[in-house]
Amino acid sequence: MQRIAVVGAGFSGAATVIQLLRRHGDLPLTVTLISRHPELGRGVAYGTHSPTHLLNVPAGRMSLFPDDEEDFLRFARSRVPEATGGSFMPRSLYGEYLATRLEEAVVGARHARFVALTAEAKEVLPMPDGRIQLKLADGGMLEAERVVVASGNYPPGDPRLPDMGFYSDARYIRDPWAPGALERVDAKRPVLLIGTGLTMMDVALELDRRGYTQPMHALSRRGLLPQEHRTHHGGPLEPSVVMDMLRQGEPKVRRWSRAIRFCAAELEASGIDWRDVIGAIRPFTAELWQRLDLSERRRFLRHLQPYWDSHRHRTAPVAHARLQRLIKEGRLSLRAGYLRALAPEGDSVRVLWRPRHGAAGETFEVGTVINCTGPKGAVERSGDPFIRSLLDQGLMQADALGLGVQVDKEGGLLDKAGRVSSALFYTGPLLKARDWECTAVPELRVAALKLADKLAATLKRA
């Protein structure tokens, strides 16, 4: 019996296992899903139980299965009958959906056997015959013919400051998703939220739900908030309207950004929303990203990524309205500028920052500092011993921009010498290094499906 081990039970790990069992459950397989936590499929994204944390994609586009777009919508309606394709459901409900579909896939598999293992993989030990041995934190060992690394993003790194000493202070929260993190917020003093993206929105809305009444200061270089999704949806825009312009000429991010803005402005007169222009590009972002050379990718990350993220990674209208209420009431202030220093002063923290278009620095005091800059993909800075084992042995290669890991078109890990592994694979948001747009369910579900078919095909040949 062939063995597949999947390390990581968030969306990508669970989706890969579900597809293996659904599509290839007639094979003599043992599929082991290794997770640090007993709740499978939830991960950081869907492990929350806060009602303020909503999906950022409408229910009609959140199906686990690319060939059945309404699967999640049907599940949502079984719990919330009034749900529609445009509804933004709680993330906790999506975690329940993944767990349910995993249970169904396990029951429906004819010959494949499923093992849920609550453990932590610590080390990778390649064997002479091509198999992989995994050493677990409790000292146990697990062997498999194929291993899928399904780790997600990593907590944000500490923003660079001349004096990094403050980051060891108890008043600093590096990872707002860590268990009990927000319970450490000083309820009697203002709070600094570093970042103004989706993570900041989640934290601000959750603090509000918990009854936090002190001022919240959100600071980022440009002070950009995520745009909101529409409450209504028009017809899809023919992708060629945009892609014909982008495919002409040299692949330059400046030229592409001008073309996108021009196209959005031209189509607005016809009643077509700019969101439709972004949506038309979405299926082709991997193609566009792969056409850019390294210098152009760096240029995009340095100058255009914040604008792309605020328009591409939008938020639910109800969440957007709640955030606007906090801003209107003066409870949340947005600041565009540069963080210069964080200095403890008694029970407070003095924040020194410089406005984006200002020459002089300004200060204010808070009781807690929360890093809301969002998840990162820089695996070389990862403290995960499993990832470190892969890197130290040259079995995994990080990309040059710190976005994720290097893989071939089918998810095979590239080693330090650029060779494709036949036994080690990756799926998850660290595919961003290869495809750029691979952080949300519509892309991740396709990657999981393709990898499941690839694994089954290689084991059949073996």
Let me know whether 95 and 11 are in one domain.
yes
- The tokens for 38 are 């007993």
Query: What is the rounded radius of gyration, in angstroms, for the C-alpha atoms of the chain?
Result: 23
Let me know whether 31 and 178 are in one domain.
no
CATH of the domain at 194: 3.50.50.60
Let me know whether 388 and 257 are in one domain.
no
Domain final position from 265, 284, 312: 312
Percent of the chain at pLDDT above 90?
77
Please state, rounded to an integer, the average pLDDT across all residues of the chain.
Answer: 92
Within-domain flag for 64: no
pLDDT at residue 154, rounded to an integer: 80
Percent of the chain at pLDDT above 70?
97
Q: Is the pLDDT of residue 44 over 70?
A: no
Question: How many angstroms separate the CA atoms of 18 and 150, rounded?
Answer: 13
Q: Is the pLDDT of residue 314 over 80?
A: yes
Let me know whether 48 and 180 are in one domain.
no
Within-domain flag for 232: no
Within-domain flag for 420: yes
Strands 348-355 and 132-136: unpaired
Domain final position from 268, 293, 312: 312
Inter-residue contact 369 to 173 (CB < 8 Å): yes
Q: Is the pLDDT of residue 48 over 80?
A: no
Strands 348-355 and 362-366: antiparallel
Q: How far is CA 213 from the centre of its chain?
A: 30
Within-domain flag for 384: yes
Let me know whether 293 and 258 are in one domain.
yes
Let me know whether 184 and 204 are in one domain.
yes
pLDDT at residue 438, rounded to an integer: 86
Q: Mean per-residue pLDDT for 324-336? A: 97
Calculate the dihedral angle through the C-alpha atoms of 376, 381, 382, 388, rounding to the nearest 10 degrees.
140
Within-domain flag for 78: no
Let me know whether 308 and 319 are in one domain.
no
Q: Out of 6-10, 79-83, 275-279, 444-448, which region has the weakest mean confidence (pLDDT)?
A: 275-279
Within-domain flag for 116: yes
Q: Output 237 or 262, whichever has higher pLDDT.
A: 262
pLDDT at residue 60, rounded to an integer: 92
pLDDT at residue 118, rounded to an integer: 94
CB atoms within 10 A of CB 19: 23
Q: Is the pLDDT of residue 46 over 80?
A: no
Let me know whether 38 and 103 are in one domain.
yes
Within-domain flag for 414: yes
Count of the separate structural domains present in the chain: 3
Within-domain flag for 257: yes
> 279: pLDDT confidence band, cut at 50, 70 and 90?
confident
> 256: pLDDT confidence band, cut at 50, 70 and 90?
very high
Partners of 90 in beta bridges: 54
pLDDT at residue 379, rounded to an integer: 86
Domain final position from 331, 346, 371: 371
Inter-residue contact 376 to 157 (CB < 8 Å): yes
Q: Output 55 or 47, whichever has higher pLDDT.
A: 55
pLDDT at residue 248, rounded to an integer: 85
Let me know whether 46 and 150 are in one domain.
yes
pLDDT at residue 272, rounded to an integer: 87
Inter-residue contact 17 to 106 (CB < 8 Å): no
pLDDT at residue 132, rounded to an integer: 96
Domain carrying residue 451: 2-53+90-154+376-461
> 88: pLDDT confidence band, cut at 50, 70 and 90?
very high
Q: What angle do CA 67, 68, 71 make, to 5 degrees?
A: 150
pLDDT digits (tens, 9 = 90+) for 141-170: 999 999 999 988 888 889 999 999 999 999
Let me know whether 254 and 301 are in one domain.
yes
pLDDT at residue 104, rounded to an integer: 96
Q: Mean per-residue pLDDT for 271-298? A: 92
pLDDT at residue 233, rounded to an integer: 59
pLDDT at residue 234, rounded to an integer: 57
pLDDT at residue 207, rounded to an integer: 97
Q: Give me the phi and psi of 366, to 5 degrees please.
A: -135, 170
pLDDT at residue 381, rounded to an integer: 80
pLDDT digits (tens, 9 = 90+) for 212-250: 999 999 999 999 999 998 766 555 678 887 888 888 889
Nearest to 428 by CA among 401, 392, 453, 403: 403
Strands 141-144 and 132-136: antiparallel
Strands 132-136 and 420-426: unpaired
Q: Is the pLDDT of residue 131 over 70?
A: yes
Let me know whether 264 and 380 are in one domain.
no
Q: Is the pLDDT of residue 41 over 70?
A: no
pLDDT digits (tens, 9 = 90+) for 53-63: 889 889 999 99
pLDDT digits (tens, 9 = 90+) for 379-404: 888 888 999 999 999 999 999 999 99
Let me know whether 15 and 115 are in one domain.
yes
Nearest to 225 by CA among 293, 146, 320: 320
| pTM of the model as a whole | 0.91
Q: Mean per-residue pLDDT for 57-82? A: 94
**Please, which contacts does 293-298 make with residues 24 or more away whose CB atoms are closer than 8 Å?**
293/251, 294/400, 294/401, 296/251, 296/252, 296/253, 297/401, 298/401
